[in-house]
């Protein structure tokens, strides 16, 4: 637990610029692989933004784009790793479809307050960078143990969602799903990053799949941060209305 939160004094003392740029435990080959992964991830995020913009222009986001996104992921996983160009194109299609699917939420946030959308994205980017750096500078396999905890947490989250579907959604269950999901996917950023490093050292240099994993984590965190901020904004608006009525 201490290794996850970085609470020990020894780690605090070592947390300086030199430590943050210490990648000696990562071989040059794996470092090159990580550059490809993050470059592909950035391209996927741009593609997702274009997909969201396409929804705003043409109102295309919804169930169809969600199902198409899932179909493209399955198609991507079935293509041999040697067909890199085709796999990259499919990843960009997945990202664009994911962006279109999130289009209604993004459009709603823009209608409420454009600043919320910008803040949510910046907050997600900062969180993603910090947790990725924590995984990159940590000792190899240091956070692999998180996989069991995160998997258990994800299972609990699925049961909470199923209970909400069967017995009706309540504010308490919605909050549990929202905040617990945020914590879980922040943890997955660390876990997936270390797993990518470990698999790359073992010879798995499939940067498209690895970028897809991190893209999924990024989107999951972004959606939850955005919903939390919209929820807080709505709560403040209701309080102001009550004060005015009083």
**Each residue's pLDDT tens digit, 184-199:** 999 999 999 999 999 9
Structure tokens at 242: 């009550």
Show the domain range for 226.
27-230
Helices (H), 59-170: 63-78, 84-101, 103-112, 114-137, 146-167
Q: Lowest-confidence range among 33-42, 53-62, 164-173, 190-199? A: 164-173
pTM: 0.86
40 lies in a domain?
A: yes
Instruction: Give the number of domains in the chain.
Output: 1
* pLDDT, tens only, 72-100: 999 999 999 999 999 999 999 999 999 99
**Does 36 fall in a domain?**
yes
Q: Specify the 3-state DSSP secondary structure of 48.
A: helix
Evaluate whether residue 48 is within a structural domain.
yes
Residue 142's nearest CA partner among 130, 131, 134, 154 is 134
Which residues, 6 or more positions from 105, have their beta carbon under 8 angstroms from its beta carbon? 223, 226, 227
Cβ-contact 204, 187 below 8 angstroms: no
| pLDDT exceeds cutoff 50 at 14 | no
Task: List the Cα angle 39/45/46 in 5-degree steps.
Answer: 90
Task: Return the structure tokens found at 68.
Answer: 């198409």
What are the φ/ψ torsions at residue 112 (nearest 5 degrees)? -75, -55
For residue 235, is pLDDT > 90? no
Higher pLDDT, 109 or 21: 109
How many angstroms separate the CA atoms of 228 and 219, rounded?
Answer: 14
Which of these, 137, 143, 133, lies nearest to 3 by C-alpha position? 143
Q: Give the contacts of 31 (CB within 8 A, at least 6 positions apart).
A: 23
Domain assignment present for residue 78? The answer is: yes
Give the 3-state secondary structure of residue 1.
coil
14 occurs within a structural domain: no
Torsion over CA: 215, 217, 223, 229 (sign): negative
Residue with tokens 């010879």: 203
Residue 24: pLDDT band with limits 50, 70, 90:
low
Q: Please, what is the average pLDDT of the chain?
A: 86
- Judge whether residue 236 has pLDDT over 80: no
134 pLDDT band, cuts 50/70/90, is confident
Residue 171 has pLDDT above 90, yes or no: no
Average pLDDT over residues 164-179: 80
Q: How many residues does the chain have?
A: 246
Domain-embedded: residue 226: yes
Q: What does the radius of gyration of the chain's CA atoms come to, in whole angstroms? A: 20
> pLDDT at position 23, please?
58
- Whether residue 242 lies inside any domain: the answer is no
3-state SS class at 172: helix
């Amino acid at each position: 637990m201490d290794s996850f939160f970085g609470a020990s004094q020894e780690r605090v003392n070592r947390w300086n610029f030199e430590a943050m740029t210490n990648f000696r435990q990562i071989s040059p080959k794996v470092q090159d692989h990580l550059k490809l992964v993050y470059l592909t991830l950035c391209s996927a995020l741009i593609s997702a933004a274009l997909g969201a913009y396409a929804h705003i222009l043409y109102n295309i986001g919804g169930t169809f784009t969600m199902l198409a996104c899932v179909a493209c992921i399955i198609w991507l996983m079935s293509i041999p790793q040697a067909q890199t160009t085709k796999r990259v194109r499919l990843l960009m299609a997945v990202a664009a479809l994911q962006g279109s699917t999130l289009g209604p939420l993004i459009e709603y946030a823009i209608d409420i307050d454009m600043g919320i959308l910008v803040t949510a994205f910046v907050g997600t980017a900062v969180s993603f960078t910090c947790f990725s750096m924590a995984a990159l500078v940590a000792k190899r396999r240091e956070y692999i143990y998180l996989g069991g905890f995160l998997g258990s947490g994800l299972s609990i989250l699925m049961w909470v969602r199923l209970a909400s579907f069967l017995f009706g959604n309540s504010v308490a269950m919605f909050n549990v799903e929202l905040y617990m999901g945020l914590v879980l996917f922040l943890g997955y950023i660390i876990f997936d990053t270390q797993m990518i490093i470990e698999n790359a050292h073992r010879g798995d240099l499939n940067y498209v799949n690895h970028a897809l994993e991190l893209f999924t984590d990024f989107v999951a965190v972004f959606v939850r941060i955005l919903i939390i901020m919209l929820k807080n904004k709505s709560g403040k608006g209701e309080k102001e209305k009550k004060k005015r009525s009083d």
